[in-house]
Amino acid sequence: MIEAELTVKSEQGLHARPAHLFMRAANKYKSDIQVCNLTNRSDFVSAKSILKILALGVYHGYQVQLRISGVDEKEAAAELCTLVRNNFKE
């Protein structure tokens, strides 16, 4: 299992376009990928569901935690962490 804590620096937070990009990236992998809003101490939800990601209410400057487990966890973690660190390609 790989865990990572990240700060969302995108001005939009994890909403609409960024959430869609995050969900699409997560769905490319077989691993179980969970995300939570550390700032609000939410429960973990599936990163493969855009509705669950949007329900987290992640805004600019919030911290999220990823929890990835499976056969391609390293690749998934690398891509998702890069996506967040690069402000969702903005």
SS3 66: strand
pLDDT of residue 58: 96
Q: State yes or no: is 15 an active-site residue.
A: yes
CATH number for the domain that contains residue 59: 3.30.1340.10
Which residue range(s) make up the domain with 57? 2-89
Determine which one of 9, 15, 52, 67 is catalytic: 15
The structural domain count of the chain equals 1
User: Quick check: 4 and 69 in contact, CB under 8 A?
Assistant: no
Q: What is the pLDDT of residues 32-50, one digit of tens each?
A: 999 999 999 999 999 999 9
pLDDT at 90: 63
31 CB-contact burial (10 Å; exposed 0-12 / middle 13-18 / buried 19+):
buried
